[in-house]
């Protein structure tokens, strides 16, 4: 292996008892080939594009061989799936190779998704298909480009192996990166088995490696819960602000570090719809867009339940403290969300009626079937001059007079803080993205890759989504109205 690409690997999770994981070797796909390498993510562990000429490292990332320090495992966890507790889940198609440490001393899990059967695969085949791999590869980077905390994607591999889902598809492999892949469900697994010592060991592990500042707190477990509540509130506020729907907010898909994790049937809203359901398998709309804050609080309550024995020996006292902390979620979420909404409107100051101004706008967008991302990008060019028509914005609405009434209130609000149009536009261009990963964009890349083995669209979109606030003249069509066929796309848990 080229010395330039020597990575220091460790796997601190294996210092925990064997109940937490199972050692397992990746099962390589047949005739694996590199599809895309993400140089932006690679920089975090000191790699550059020249890695693609280092066959030894590529073989390790494809699950074909191990490098010194790698200690591959599959971790166990439980979870509330669509509200129902499932006592044992785990990494059914993901294998953690270990942690790569960068020059700053930061550690990043390298996890192979689609690397074969593990003890937690249940009836699954341990594989990932090209379709879902492309979707996660692109969306994790799209979220990072938008400034939303997320797992990252280092690279993806294709293969000649056939995998059966609803039909025969090509097998693929994603190399995913995160500071940690520990989930709410990791705590649930041990709590509901009555293994409270294991819950404490896991909490201590998270504090030691990710929240060391909490170690000296009077009650570090209460502090841990408080920290996770705060990071989750901020994360969900960011989801709502960019119009992102996760699709499967089970507790096993919630990170204790406040990261977006496990991209399956996600979707960025097109026409604004608070009832938007991006997951075709979500028959009752449990994870509809507007319900995400409530679901996050429910998931946090599940996590809080597991920490009760650590918070206080007296159950009633522990429950009282946990409920007090959980009551902070809503005001924290509202604080972050209202700050983001104010920024999306280009407002620099806080005034009492700002929430009403934003809420009434969302109602108008909903009633008039207006594209969420395109509207806010166009709002950047709003003129506060009474003589200005704002025709571009006005023509997005069926009820133009209703928009005029809202625009009058908005203009008055801008004047109240002496907003200058040119300065506000510059500010808002960094807040309201021009591009988000719409499902049809991912579908375009998937079709080219699946039907023609043409992977160029993946890299084109990756470059676009890394800088979604910038102008990309050669990709302008992705900022326009989605094509008619886009409305026929359905994604489900198999995606």
Give me the active site residues, please: 252
Contacts of 16 (CB under 8 A, 6+ apart): 201, 202, 205
Give the containing element (helix H, strand E) for 363. Answer: helix 354-367
Give dist(CA 199, CA 191) in Å, integer.
6
Instruction: Name residue 172's beta-bridge partners.
Output: 128, 158
- Compute the distance between CA of residue 351 and CA of residue 207 in angstroms, rounded to an integer: 38
> Residue 21: CB partners within 8 Å, gap ≥ 6?
13, 14, 73, 74, 75, 76, 96
* φ, ψ dihedrals at 420, nearest 5°: -105, 125
Sequence-distant contacts of 392-398: CB under 8 A, at least 24 apart: 396/368, 396/370, 396/371, 397/364, 397/368, 397/370, 398/368, 398/369
Q: Are strands 33-37 and 8-10 parallel, antiparallel or unpaired?
A: unpaired
| Rounded distance between C-alpha atoms, residue 479 and residue 36, angstroms | 24
H helix or E strand, kind and range, residue 94: strand 94-101
**Distance (Å, whole) CA 170 – CA 37:** 19
Residue whose token pair is 């592990």: 205
> Distance of CA 199 to CAs 186, 303, 436, 444, Å?
9, 11, 38, 44
d(CA 75, CA 70): 15
Give 244's strand partners. Answer: 268
Phi, psi of 169 (to 5 degrees): -130, 165
CA–CA separation, 268 and 77 (whole Å): 28
**In this structure, what token pair is assigned to residue 378?**
């166009």
Question: Counting Cβ atoms within 10 Å, is residue 66 exposed (0-12), middle (13-18) or buried (19+)?
Answer: middle
Contacts for 478-484 with beta carbons within 8 Å, 24 or more apart? 478/435, 478/438, 478/441, 479/374, 479/377, 479/434, 479/435, 480/374, 481/371, 481/374, 482/270, 482/438, 482/440, 483/440
């Amino acid at each position: 292996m080229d010395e330039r690409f020597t990575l220091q690997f460790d796997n601190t999770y294996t210092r925990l008892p064997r109940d937490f994981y199972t050692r397992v070797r990746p099962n390589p796909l047949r005739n694996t080939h590199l599809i895309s390498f993400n140089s932006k993510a690679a920089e975090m562990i000191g790699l550059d594009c020249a890695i693609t000429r280092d066959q030894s490292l590529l073989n390790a990332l494809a699950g074909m061989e191990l490098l010194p320090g790698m200690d591959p495992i599959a971790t166990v966890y439980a979870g509330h799936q669509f509200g129902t507790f499932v006592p044992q889940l785990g990494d059914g198609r993901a294998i953690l190779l270990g942690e790569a440490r960068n020059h700053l001393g930061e550690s990043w899990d390298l996890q192979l998704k689609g690397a074969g059967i593990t003890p937690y695969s249940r009836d699954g085949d341990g594989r990932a298909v090209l379709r879902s791999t492309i979707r996660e590869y692109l969306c994790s980077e799209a979220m990072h480009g938008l400034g939303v905390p997320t797992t990252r994607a280092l690279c993806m591999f294709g293969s000649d192996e056939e995998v059966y889902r609803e039909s025969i598809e090509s097998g693929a492999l994603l190399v995913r990166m995160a500071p940690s892949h520990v989930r709410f469900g990791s705590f649930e697994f041990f709590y509901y088995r009555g293994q409270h010592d294991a819950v404490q060991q896991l909490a201590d592990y998270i504090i030691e490696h990710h929240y060391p500042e909490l170690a000296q707190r009077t009650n570090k477990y209460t502090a841990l819960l408080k920290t996770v509540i705060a990071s989750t509130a901020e994360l969900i506020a960011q989801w709502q602000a960019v119009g992102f729907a996760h699709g499967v907010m089970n507790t096993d898909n919630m990170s204790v570090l406040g990261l977006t994790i496990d991209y399956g049937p996600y979707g960025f809203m097109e026409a604004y719809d608070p009832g938007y359901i991006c997951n075709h398998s979500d028959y009752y709309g449990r994870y509809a867009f507007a319900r995400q804050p409530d679901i996050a609080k429910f998931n946090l309550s599940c996590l809080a339940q597991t920490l009760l024995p650590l918070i206080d020996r007296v159950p009633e006292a522990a429950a009282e403290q946990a409920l007090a902390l959980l009551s902070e979620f809503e005001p924290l979420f509202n604080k972050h969300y209202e700050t983001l909404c104010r920024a999306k409107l280009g407002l620099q100051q806080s005034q009492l009626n700002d929430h009403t101004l934003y809420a009434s706008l969302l109602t108008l967008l909903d009633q008039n079937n207006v594209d969420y991302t395109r509207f806010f990008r166009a709002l950047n060019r709003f003129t506060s001059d009474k003589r200005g028509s704002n025709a571009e914005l006005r023509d997005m609405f069926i009820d133009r007079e209703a928009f005029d009434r809202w625009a009058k209130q908005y203009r008055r609000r801008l004047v109240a803080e002496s907003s200058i149009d040119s300065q506000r536009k510059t500010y808002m261009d960094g807040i309201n993205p021009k591009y988000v990963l719409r499902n049809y964009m991912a579908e375009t890349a998937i079709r080219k890759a699946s039907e023609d083995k043409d992977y160029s669209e993946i890299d084109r979109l990756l470059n676009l989504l890394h800088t979604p606030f910038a102008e990309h003249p050669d990709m302008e069509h992705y900022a326009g109205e989605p094509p008619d066929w886009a409305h026929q796309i359905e994604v489900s848990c198999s995606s």
